[in-house]
Amino acid sequence: KKVIFSGMQATGIITLGNYIGALKNWVSLHEQYNCLFSVVDMHSITVRHNPAELRKRSRDLLTLYIAAGLDPEKNIIYYQSHVPAHAELAWILNCYTYMGELNRMTQYKEKSQKHEDNINAGLFTYPILMAADILLYQTDVVPVGNDQKQHLELARDIATRFNNIYGDVFKIPEPYFGKVGARVMSLQDPTKKMSKSDENTNAFISLLDEPDVIMKKVKRAVTDSDREIRYSEDKAGVKNLIDIYSAMTGMGIESAVANFEGKGYGDLKKEVGEAIVEGLRPLQTRFKELSADKEYINQVIKNNGEKASYLANKTLRKVKKKIGYPE
């Protein structure tokens, strides 16, 4: 079986963008692959954070992975910080990555503008840790949203460079983007991606939002001043709602558009809201049940962390040997 690796940050409750762009695809792929899904808590400290919150959010995120349908018996669902090999390989790969490459990362540029008072080295080398995450497990496929494309290309470049020097150490990973929803847009500004760190909470739907909150946020979504429901780049708000509808119902774009023929924006928003509420309902119910079962979650964290360590150390040992660390 081929290997899938992906991860999410626990900087807040994840959004519908994270769900449609990543988590939902993980669920649809996870039967055919050997999968590792990580809560990347080491990445989360590249911006200032509250320790108690990070602890809680990391646990909630890990629980959400399971609630969404990922089976921790068949997949490895774990905390990045529980596997020290990530940090070790990241250090080594630091020495095989050029400043120029990191300087070109658009996410770094955006984040350093946003966090001007804390442009730390970790924020800069963030993509190297991400490369280490992926390369440690000899990953074939990385299912992510569009915004991670550049980071993934860098991971491939680093792996190729390393292999060119030392022989075949790393598998070169391929990205996987979903058919729809690889980029879910903000409900308040459909030219921007939906982000959990948006100051305006109406801009995103959190996976744990109550049904009435979801309906309200969709109702307030920014569209445009005409009234025609068309799927087109020049109608970013409407297009985004149709994309979300299609992703949540599994209906193709054409049938989704046909479904809204002759209807108005009010109907569109109502139906999209309902599709989200219904789509998330099983996950939300399961999340509540799982959160109450502390023992079960603790056991998953322990077992799966050990499984991940075992696999990661295999690659790490090989790397250390290749670069000449004493045995």
CA 89, CA 84: separation in Å to the nearest integer?
Answer: 9
Name the nearest CA neighbour of 181 among 276, 91, 288.
276
Size of the site for ligand TYM (CB under 6 A): 26
Catalytic site positions: 111, 193, 196
Quick one: which of 58, 75, 138, 148 contacts ligand TYM (CB under 6 A)?
148
Annotate 187-229 with DSSP letters as a single string. SS-TTSB--TT-SSGGG--BTT--HHHHHHHHHT----SS---
Q: Does 142 bind ligand TYM (CB under 6 A)?
A: yes
Min CB(181)–ligand TYM separation in Å: 6
Q: Answer yes or no whether residue 57 interacts with ligand TYM by CB under 6 A.
A: no
24 binds ligand TYM (CB under 6 A): no
Tokens 């509250």 — which residue? 50
Pair of tokens at residue 290: 């799982």
Q: Fill in the DSSP letter of residue 97.
A: S
Find the part of the chain contacting ligand TYM (CB under 6 A) among 143-151, 164-172, 231-239, 291-299.
143-151
Residue list 194-223, contact with ligand TYM (CB under 6 A): 194
Least CB distance to ligand TYM at residue 317 (A): 21
Q: 257-260: long-range contacts (C-beta < 8 A, 24 or more apart)?
A: 257/229, 257/230, 257/231, 260/229
With binding defined as CB under 6 A, does residue 184 bind ligand TYM?
Answer: yes
Q: At what angle do helices 106-114 and 121-135 cross, to 10 degrees?
A: 140
Query: From CA 190, how far away is CA 223, in angstroms rounded?
Result: 8
Site for ligand TYM contains 9 (CB under 6 A): yes
Smallest distance from the beta carbon of 155 to ligand TYM, in angstroms?
A: 8
6 is in an annotated binding site: no
Contact between 175 and ligand TYM (CB under 6 A)? no
Segment interacting with ligand TYM (CB under 6 A) among 47-55, 116-124, 137-145, 156-164: 137-145
CA gap 263, 229 in Å, rounded: 8
Instruction: Enumerate binding residues for ligand TYM (CB under 6 A).
Output: 5-9, 17-18, 21-22, 40, 43, 130, 133-134, 142, 144-145, 147-148, 151, 181-184, 193-194
